[in-house]
Structure 1
């Protein structure tokens, strides 16, 4: 064999080894980020009302660990009191919406009072570093033509929900997981920042969505439906 033979053989061997190493690295990367690697056959929107609060850090941590993003419908008074948590919501990849300032029954208020509830929350969220909300959820899901008109004046799209987790009503972790299991493409689920059973349900919600090829998406201000982020 000529001297060139061993060199060619050595180069081929090095090339094969390099290819194997790259393949192994790719395999490791894929296994390390299953949420990113999984195909999304549809999108649903996870929403959390009534924050931010002392519970927000644990909620954000659970969402991040499970590869989930969500829309946080914050109350203006809590955004003003907990600006660091509003910034943490944004830093964790969440979207911030308007849930009124004091969580009143808006349909029982005057137009001026409704305006104050919505406008003060827009200002509080923006001042806390959450950007200017584009989405508005009326407390208790209660709305009328006046509420919708005032929200529209501030460029807000009203968002209700398709599935109610009932976490506000003491629903168990199992019941919350089952509620999320009813979500279909484009739909929105109501949950709350403060509910301990909801926090416990997040890993199983993530598993259930992944098993059905659904991913956690954003809410489109144009359609009010869940879409790709």
Structure 2
């Protein structure tokens, strides 16, 4: 048997490959692909979904930046709007809709609702429902009670209007002077299905968004939507998660 030098073997192999390619091009025949399957990449949302929420908007000078920063970082968030703010800043509400951010009801004037009568509560929620439907064409399905204060009377009003009450699992304390680093740290504790409280109107909250997005990605988590059925976070209807 004749032994070929390594370089000779390489040249012959290359020539054979070239011939095979030429035959394939001429005949239309393609060799069967390898049966070896590539190792599947881990699903980017394998660890689950969380609900990012921002209360008290829309706010002139802040909501535009909030929406832009969320979109740049591939995040979806639920925006709980105060009715009178929405009425005054209807163009910002339309911008929220255009950005495909779910919009929720946060009452008309942000009062302490449990201190009110049934009819007063109903007015606060109904006026906000009407305003948001008038601006967006769609009435909200989610309601965030101001200060997280609720009672049986308020829940009855929510049910009457077809609203699901959404509280939170993690409070970033952005409303209480938390730094950007503190907001990011608190957001890093989110687990599958949980909801986090943030607000429209604080620069530190907007500055925290890139790091929040990076942390979610590093943990295999995505920002999802809050279900009107359960009030918990799950896969988004429109995929804009990281």
Q: Same fold (TM over 0.5)?
A: yes
TM alignment of 1:192-203, pairs within 5 A: 192-203=199-210
Q: Residues 101 and 120 of structure 1 are in contact (CA less than 8 Å); yes or no, is this contact kept in structure 2? A: yes
Normalized per residue, the structure richer in helix is 1
Largest Rg, 1 or 2 = 2
TM alignment of 1:213-224, pairs within 5 A: 213-224=220-231
TM alignment of 1:52-201, pairs within 5 A: 52-54=58-60, 55-129=62-136, 131-201=138-208
Structure 2 stretches of 5 or more lacking a match?
Answer: 1-18, 27-41, 237-242
The equivalent residue for 1:47 is: 53
* 3-state SS of paired residue (2:111): coil
Q: Residues 52 and 193 of structure 1 are in contact (CA less than 8 Å); yes or no, is this contact kept in structure 2? A: yes
Structure 2 CA distance for aligned equivalents of residues 137 and 7 of structure 1: 64
Q: Residues 86 and 129 of structure 1 are in contact (CA less than 8 Å); yes or no, is this contact kept in structure 2? A: yes
Q: Structure 1 length normalisation: TM-score?
A: 0.84
Q: Structure 2 length normalisation: TM-score?
A: 0.80
Q: How far did 1:39 drift?
A: 1.4
1:111-130 per-residue CA deviation (whole Å, 9 max, x = no partner) reads 11000000000001111116
Structure 2 CA distance for aligned equivalents of residues 57 and 199 of structure 1: 11
Ranges of 4+ aligned residues in structure 1 off by more than 2 Å: 5-12
* 3-state SS of paired residue (1:128): helix
Q: How far did 1:7 drift?
A: 9.6
Structure 2 CA distance for aligned equivalents of residues 126 and 6 of structure 1: 65
The equivalent residue for 1:206 is: 213
